[in-house]
């Protein structure tokens, strides 16, 4: 199906005037297997080039005909006369529902195809005021009156069009890159099931999947399955909050019922390069951000164990109570891995809770009786809602479970290794060039590579305040051009005394070494005249 869709996209190419397809009254050239036809459209832009096929403006190719006969034959529905009220559960709404969802699936498949197509942009950038004011056929404003399904299809397509293709092989901006087709299928199913995961009776299969998947993860990190516990959380920030919450309960369980007034002044420790969510967790839990002690790092961004021990002794001398150390296995910017064994020895010596990437122990003994009755007809230990702050959680487990089924542990290993190989490839390429400078020497420990681009105007400038000031402006200016052209995306930031530098992070298995080469040359092209 997927291969056929790619063939369809390659055989019928819609060439249009301007950047956006089907603006108002425009002349369109349809190219079908090398034969061009010129047509004139009228009125408002429609939902998708596929809509044109429903109006028989494009003669289907042989491949497209086969594609349409495989379950999407009917393209004649006039969605301009159909509204949401005409879909299920409306009487006789089944066919309308089917046709509408088929159109949505075509929009999604088209987007998936474009996400892997290096000839497409990573983003079609527009400024906030442009999106707020509305673009041709696309408005963010809400009305009291319902709009027809044709407009909804326009909105679906344009929502994807004006967003960032994070699955694009040339998107390097965040760690959350890549588009896994199996995971996508899992998310579609999860949305269709439309259930939360908190009790066995409401989500029995997902509850069991989560338990099995977590046990598999315990096994991979060397924990006995009977000693581990956990849940899937919405993200890293909430995971870190859970870890501080559990550590406080472990040391002072009475804080859960009596509050912070019953405990001494608590302090926790984290590296100066750690994620900002540790401070947020301290604020939310009433510990206070002033009681988050930042520990110095070396030039590679690793926590210095001797500095940690010194900070612990200093706080104890002040009468404070240390209770928690956050060690980072792959910092956000440098990708540095703290010396975990040495930190663990210090934590054991001072009897401190050591957190590495989300440990969770059983600390939930207060539950909502109406949800978690102990006299249910099944084992209530499978009810996980009491472990989570929000009780009901989005079902994240199914797409991960399905991906594990498809890849196996070996497949994930191959995927991770490719990302690490790409990082090392970029590092080696930049090390050989005079127009780039690495933020620190040494191969990357993780999938992050940090570097400066040095434009010709700065290469002969001696080190000093003026050079640093001008170099600080280079990355933001290149990023601005990059966003406007939409060719690729990469993040930048300062760190400590280092002025703005690029941080390239690899997590997309679709990214190739050729994409890395493209990134390098694109930065040069956009920044050469700065």
Q: Please identify, in words, the CATH class of the domain defined by 401-527.
A: alpha beta
Q: Are 68 and 60 in contact (CB under 8 A)?
A: yes
Q: What is the pLDDT of residues 85-134, one digit of tens each?
A: 999 999 999 999 999 999 999 999 999 999 999 999 999 999 999 999 88
As a whole number of angstroms, the distance between CA 37 and CA 153 comes to 26
Confidence of residue 48 (pLDDT cuts 50, 70, 90): very low
Q: In CATH terms, is domain 196-395 a member of 3.20.20.70?
A: no
Upstream peptide bond of 393 is cis (omega within 30 degrees of 0): no
Rg over alpha carbons for the chain, rounded to the nearest Å, is: 27
| Residue 154 CB contacts under 8 Å (≥ 6 apart), including other chains | 45, 46, 47, 137, 138
What pLDDT score does 376 carry? 37
Instruction: Tell me how far apart the alpha carbons of residues 95 and 297 are, in angstroms, rounded to a whole number.
Output: 62
Quick one: how far is CA 422 from the chain centroid?
19
- pLDDT tens sequence across 333-353: 899 999 999 999 999 999 999
Domain with CATH 3.40.640.10 in the chain: 196-395
Q: List, for residues 446-492, the tens digit of each pLDDT value.
A: 899 999 999 999 999 999 999 999 999 999 999 999 999 999 999 99
**Cα-flanking dihedrals φ and ψ of residue 502, to 5°?**
-80, 140
Q: What's the DSSP call for residue 135?
A: B
476 HSE (CA, 13 A, CB side): 9
| Rounded Cα–Cα distance for residues 36 and 28 (Å) | 10
State which of 23-32, 202-211, 302-311, 350-359 shows the largest mean pLDDT: 302-311
Q: How many CB atoms lie within 10 A of CB 464?
A: 8
> In whole angstroms, what is the distance from residue 264 CA to residue 255 CA?
10
CA 74 to chain CA centroid, Å, is 36
pLDDT of residue 2: 30
Q: Residue 35, SS3?
A: strand
pLDDT above 50 for 8: no
Q: Which two tokens stand for residue 506?
A: 């690899």
pLDDT digits (tens, 9 = 90+) for 209-264: 999 999 998 888 888 877 788 888 888 888 899 999 999 999 999 999 999 999 99
Cβ atoms of residues 504 and 449 within 8 Å: yes
Confidence of residue 369 (pLDDT cuts 50, 70, 90): very low
- Pairing mode, if any, of strands 27-32 and 498-505? unpaired
30-46 burial, b at 16+ Cβ within 10 Å, e below that, comes to beeeeeeeeeebeeebb
How far, in Å, CA of 300 to CA of 298, rounded?
A: 5
Q: Classify residue 381 by its DSSP letter.
A: G
Q: Say if residues 356 and 303 touch (Cβ distance below 8 Å).
A: no
Per DSSP, the residues of 446-482 read SSEEEEEE--HHHHTSPSSHHHHHHHHHHHHHHHHHH
Neighbour count for residue 438 (Cβ, 10 Å) = 16
- Residues 369, 341: contact at Cβ < 8 Å? no
pTM score > 0.85 for this model?
Answer: no
Residues forming CATH 3.90.1150.170 domain(s) in the chain: 401-527
Per-residue pLDDT band for 309 (boundaries 50, 70, 90) equals very high
The predicted structure's pLDDT at residue 227: 79
- Which band of pLDDT confidence, cut at 50, 70 and 90, is reported for residue 391? low
pLDDT at position 75:
54
3-state secondary structure 394-418: CCCHHHHHHHHHHHHHHHHHHHHHH
Tell me what the mean pLDDT of segment 194-206 comes to.
87
Percent of the chain with pLDDT over 90: 65
* pLDDT given at position 357: 55
pLDDT at 288 over 60: yes
Structure token pair of residue 40: 């004139």
Q: Is residue 297 a contact partner of residue 305, using CB atoms and an 8 Å limit?
A: no
425 and 513 in contact (C-beta within 8 Å)? yes
| Owner of token pair 């709009």 | 147
Q: Which string of DSSP letters, residue by residue, matches 270-284?
A: EETTS-THHHHHHHH
- On average, the pLDDT of the chain sits at 82
């Amino acid at each position: 199906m997927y291969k056929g869709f790619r063939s369809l996209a390659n055989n019928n190419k819609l060439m249009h005037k301007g950047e956006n397809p089907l603006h108002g009254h425009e002349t369109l050239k349809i190219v079908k297997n090398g034969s061009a036809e010129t047509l004139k459209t009228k009125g408002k832009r429609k939902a998708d080039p596929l809509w044109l096929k429903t109006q028989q403006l494009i003669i289907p190719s042989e491949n497209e005909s086969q594609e349409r006969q495989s379950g999407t034959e009917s393209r004649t529905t006039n969605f301009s006369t159909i509204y949401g009220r005409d879909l299920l559960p409306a009487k006789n709404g089944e066919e309308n529902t089917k046709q509408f969802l088929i159109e949505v699936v075509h929009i999604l498949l088209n987007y998936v195809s474009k996400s892997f197509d290096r000839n497409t942009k990573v983003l079609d950038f527009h400024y906030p005021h442009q999106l707020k004011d509305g673009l041709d056929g696309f408005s963010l404003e809400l009305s009291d009156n319902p709009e027809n399904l044709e407009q909804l299809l326009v909105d679906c397509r344009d929502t994807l069009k004006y967003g960032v293709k994070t699955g694009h092989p040339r998107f390097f901006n965040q760690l959350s890159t890549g588009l896994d087709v199996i995971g996508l299928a899992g998310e579609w199913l999860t949305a269709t099931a439309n259930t939360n995961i908190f009790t066995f009776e409401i989500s029995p299969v997902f509850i069991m999947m989560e338990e099995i998947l977590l046990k598999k993860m315990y096994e991979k990190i060397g924990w006995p399955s009977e000693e581990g516990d956990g849940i899937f959380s919405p993200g890293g920030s909430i995971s870190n909050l859970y870890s501080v919450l559990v550590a406080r309960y472990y040391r002072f369980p009475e804080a859960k019922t009596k509050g912070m007034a019953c405990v001494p002044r608590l302090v926790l420790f984290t590296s100066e390069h750690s994620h900002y969510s540790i401070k947020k967790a301290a604020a939310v839990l009433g510990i206070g951000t002033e009681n988050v002690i930042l520990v110095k790092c070396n030039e590679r961004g690793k926590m210095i164990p001797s500095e940690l021990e010194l900070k612990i002794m200093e706080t104890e001398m002040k009468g404070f109570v240390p209770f928690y150390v956050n060690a980072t296995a792959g910092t956000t910017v440098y990708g540095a891995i703290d010396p975990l064994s040495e930190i663990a020895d210090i934590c054991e010596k001072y009897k401190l809770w050591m957190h590495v990437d989300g440990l969770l122990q059983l600390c939930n003994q207060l539950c909502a009786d109406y949800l978690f009755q102990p006299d249910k007809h099944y084992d209530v230990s499978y009810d996980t809602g009491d472990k989570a702050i929000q009780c009901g959680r989005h079902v994240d487990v199914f797409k991960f479970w399905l991906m594990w089924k498809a890849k196996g542990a070996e497949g994930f290993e191959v995927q991770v290794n490719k990302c690490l190989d790409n990082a090392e490839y970029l590092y080696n390429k930049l090390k050989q060039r005079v127009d780039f400078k690495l933020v620190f020497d040494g191969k990357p420990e993780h999938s992050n590579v940090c570097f400066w681009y040095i434009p010709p105007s700065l290469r002969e400038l001696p080190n000093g305040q003026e050079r640093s000031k001008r170099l600080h402006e280079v990355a933001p200016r290149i990023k601005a051009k990059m966003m406007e052209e939409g060719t690729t995306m990469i993040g930048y930031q300062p760190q400590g005394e280092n002025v703005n530098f690029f941080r390239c992070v690899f997590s997309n298995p679709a990214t190739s070494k050729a994409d890395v080469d493209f990134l390098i040359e694109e930065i040069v092209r956009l920044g050469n005249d700065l």
